[in-house]
């Protein structure tokens, strides 16, 4: 089976100073609104503005993949009116923004379990992906009704469905093509806004060697300057992938300077 995406646990990926792939947990919308005596949902609305700025910034910086957590498989536990507001906001955002994304040569992808979404939302998601499928400037992936455990489970089920003979013998490489992010390199940089220092069931498999960055800034207040700070922090990290610091230094010294 062809597998062009290198795994960080199998080979050592090439590192660039601008991360190729950034994954973001956009957290803190509710608190942002509460601080302003506004309803929580006003924070979600402003969160869309912040996302617009970050998408543009990533495109300008030459980031190839931006993956954002919009709704987790556990967010259904929220009050019904907030869930319903988020679904409507997602639909409106897709309807309003997709033409703009397309004009800017941005490919839109959506990952997560779509079975719980209504037909209109499912159709709009599919249309948006189809329209932007051949765009090349940036791949924006929105994780909606996504969970890292769901992803691994659905991948195993799909793989075994197609290749039952692999049940006793499958490897990382066999499984990889069935995971939601199979066509993207693993994230270089993970950003979580809103002060919480946890993964909350986001890309569990793919974050194996990702550099983690946490900020107290609430998502609606996250902007280009905040993104630059996260990238600056990333640029200070030594990515060892299990090796010693000396091995990493020897490797970079041996390379012709860019």
| 3, 75, 135, 201: the active-site residue | 75
210 near ligand IPE, rule: CB under 6 A? no
Give the strand order in the sheet containing 21-25: 106-111, 138-146, 65-72, 21-25, 189-192, 211-214
27 near ligand IPE, rule: CB under 6 A? yes
Question: Could you tell me how many residues of this chain bind ligand IPE (CB under 6 A)?
Answer: 17
CB of 115 vs Mg ion, minimal distance in Å: 24
CB of 69 vs ligand IPE, minimal distance in Å: 4
22 near ligand IPE, rule: CB under 6 A? no
Q: Between residues 90 and 178, which has the closer beta carbon with respect to ligand IPE?
A: 90
Q: How far apart are CA 59 and CA 2, in angstroms?
A: 29
CB of 159 vs ligand IPE, minimal distance in Å: 27
Write out the E strands in the chain: 21-25, 65-72, 106-111, 138-146, 189-192, 211-214
155 near ligand IPE, rule: CB under 6 A? no
Bridge partners of 211, per DSSP, are 189
Listed in sequence order, the residues at least 6 apart from 172 whose beta carbon sits closer than 8 Å to its beta carbon are 7, 9, 10
Q: What separation in angstroms does the CA of 163 have from each of 6, 26, 47, 166, 167?
A: 22, 37, 42, 6, 8
The residue range among 99-107, 114-122, 133-141, 191-199 that interacts with ligand IPE, by the rule CB under 6 A, is 191-199
27 near Mg ion, rule: CB under 5 A? yes
CB of 143 vs ligand IPE, minimal distance in Å: 7
Catalytic annotation present for 27: yes
Q: Between residues 19 and 47, which has the closer beta carbon with respect to Mg ion?
A: 47
Q: Which of residues 86-145 bind ligand IPE (CB under 6 A)?
A: 86
From the list 156, 255, 148, 129, the residue with the least C-alpha distance to 210 is 148
From the list 203, 192, 194, the residue with the least C-alpha distance to 149 is 203
147 near ligand IPE, rule: CB under 6 A? no
Write out the residues near ligand IPE by the rule CB under 6 A. Answer: 25-31, 69-72, 75, 86, 194, 196, 198, 200
The catalytic site residues sit at: 27, 75
């Amino acid at each position: 089976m062809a597998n062009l995406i290198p795994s960080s646990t199998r080979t050592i990926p090439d590192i660039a100073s601008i991360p190729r792939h950034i994954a973001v947990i956009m957290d803190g919308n509710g608190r942002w609104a509460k601080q302003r005596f506004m309803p929580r949902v006003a924070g979600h609305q402003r969160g869309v503005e912040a996302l617009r700025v970050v998408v543009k910034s990533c495109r300008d910086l030459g980031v190839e993949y931006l993956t954002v957590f919009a709704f987790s498989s556990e967010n259904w536990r929220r009050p019904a009116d907030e869930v319903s507001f988020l679904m409507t906001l997602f639909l409106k955002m897709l309807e309003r923004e997709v033409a703009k994304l397309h004009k800017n040569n941005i490919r839109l992808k959506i990952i997560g379990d779509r079975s719980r979404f209504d037909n209109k939302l499912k159709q709009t998601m599919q249309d948006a992906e189809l329209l932007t499928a051949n765009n090349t400037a940036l791949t924006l992936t929105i994780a909606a009704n996504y969970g890292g455990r769901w992803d691994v489970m659905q991948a195993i089920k799909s793989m075994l469905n197609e290749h039952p003979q692999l049940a006793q013998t499958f490897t990382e490489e066999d499984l990889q093509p069935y995971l939601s992010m199979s066509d993207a390199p693993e994230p270089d940089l993970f950003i979580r806004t809103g002060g919480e220092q946890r993964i909350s069931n986001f890309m569990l498999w793919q974050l194996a060697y990702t550099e983690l960055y946490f900020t107290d800034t609430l998502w609606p207040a996250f902007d280009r300057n905040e993104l630059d700070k996260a990238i600056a922090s990333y640029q200070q990290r030594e990515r060892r992938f299990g090796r010693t610091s000396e091995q990493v230094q020897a490797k970079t010294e041996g390379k012709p300077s860019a």
